[in-house]
Amino acid sequence: MELSWTSLLPSLLAIVFAIITRKVLLALIGGIILANLLLFWPSPSATGQGVLLSSGTTLVDPGNMLVWFFTLGIGALFGVLEKGGTFRQFVNKLEQKQWVESKRQARMMTWVLGVVVFIESNVTIMISGTTSRPVYDRLGISREKLAYIVDSTCAAICILIPLNAWGAFNLTLIADQGVQQPLWVFIQSLAFNFYAIFAVLLALLVAWFDWNIGPMKTFERNAVPNTEPSRVADNNGANKPGPQPDQSKLSSGTWVVLASLVSLIVMVPLMLLVTGNGVLVEGDGTLSVFIAIYTALGLAVIGTLATGSAGAAKVIQYALQGAWNILPLAVILWLSITLGGLTRELGTGEFLAAALDGSVSIWMLLPLIFVLAAITGFSIGSSWGTFAIMLPLAIPIAMSLGLPAAPFIAAAISGGIFGDHASPISDTTIIASMASGTEHIDHVWTQLPYALLAGAGATIAYAITGAML
């Protein structure tokens, strides 16, 4: 069809509707319907058939089927670990260790945990937050400082070391845009993911030098050491020392969690080598993550049964509950791939490239994409949803202008991380507050100055990168 400004409408509708309603699913559905209206106008029946055909084709595509199953698999994995009790045993075991005796060591321990455990942002946050909190309380470090280091490190590192669901999610979106060697291009984009890089480095700076800005100064000033042992209330309301956990169960639960997480870390690069005939960047990323997740799930199920933490029926129930909880993510991915295919048919990327040619300087494109992605991520509180909306818009612009796709991919992803990081309605922000045991709004306000500082640095870096293209 002839290129027209109307080709922008489906993507714009998805962005604006998602911002206003914070409902990514409805925004993507609206974009799909509008795209088919533009393709088949003025035939209502053809429009309806187009909606069903485009969605159905994406759903049953053999390559996409692996994505749906590994997405549900990772939900099942963490459902078994969390509900089955082994994760709680793992956390209790770590809480008993007192390897850290100074404030700097405590802050650095949290930062290192966030870097090393890069499997999934929310899981990393829970591990780092719950294991560090007793140490912070004992040494007199504010829980707001803990929440900031946990949130800034865990979410950012998961996108910089994408051997996880985030990596496979974005790799699928990139490949769906027709990018040649999508895995290699995705790896190249990591060097341009400026917000994530700056956020991790800034968290390291804060952890080492205890640099406090904005509201964080007040919370750090008011933090006092807590040397009293943990206590619980009995049936009469009186406080007494908490029960001592079974040491044998703590040890067995720890090994189950470690085996599952380590298998995830090891299996992804191993399978990339296998599927790539010895060449990592030529491996099948989706298949590799799929095999790694179900290997870890198998280990988690067997380990949970072996420790006696739960019976077979309960383990199956926990796996199904975990898969159900993550089902919306699989649906978002499905709809985003569908919308991305429709925008290509409409020629959105080609039109944008023609419209921007000569009217917007090249150096401005990357900052614009970064800021738009940040606004979207902040408003909807979902980095996944932002990736789904922004990548199908950013990549065609680069390809149409004959520019490398990696910086544009990075700008869209980096903006989504920034917006999600600063958003008070983000799941990672909320979980960081819960894991650290702090008031949610306190975490939001103490973290925001650091996020804005890293965001400003990223905007400047994208402008410089754009000038060099």
Count the domains in the chain: 1
Contact 428, 151 (CB under 8 A): yes
Q: Does residue 46 lie within any of the structural domains? A: yes
> Residue length, the chain?
469
Contact 285, 167 (CB under 8 A): yes
pTM of the model: 0.73
Structure tokens at 155: 């979410």
Residue with tokens 């008031």: 439
Q: Does residue 225 lie within any of the structural domains? A: no
Contacts of 409 (CB under 8 A, 6+ apart): 170, 174, 185, 186, 189, 192, 391, 394, 395, 398
Q: Does residue 33 lie within any of the structural domains? A: yes
Q: Does residue 438 lie within any of the structural domains? A: yes
Cis peptide before 42 (omega within 30 of 0): yes
Q: Does residue 238 lie within any of the structural domains? A: no
Confidence of residue 280 (pLDDT cuts 50, 70, 90): low
Pick from 453, 465, 359: which is nearest to 409 by CA?
Answer: 465
**Residue 304 DSSP SS3:** helix
Rounded Cα distance, 345 and 285, in Å: 26
Would you give the DSSP letter of residue 85? Answer: S
Burial, 431: exposed, middle or buried (Cβ in 10 Å; 0-12, 13-18, 19+)? Answer: buried
For 216-261, the pLDDT digits (tens) are 999 999 988 875 544 333 434 344 444 444 445 556 667 887 788 7
Q: Where are the alpha helices (DSSP H) in 308-382?
A: 312-346, 348-356, 362-380
Residue with tokens 């994409």: 369
Domain hosting 273: range is: 5-212+247-468
Q: Does residue 258 lie within any of the structural domains? A: yes
Q: Does residue 457 lie within any of the structural domains? A: yes
For 20-41, the pLDDT digits (tens) are 776 778 888 888 898 888 888 8
Q: Does residue 302 lie within any of the structural domains? A: yes
> Measured between alpha carbons, how far is residue 107 from residues 114, 213, 440 in Å?
11, 16, 20
Query: Who has greater pLDDT, 181 or 164?
Result: 181
**Residue 201 DSSP SS3:** helix
Res 214 pLDDT > 50: yes
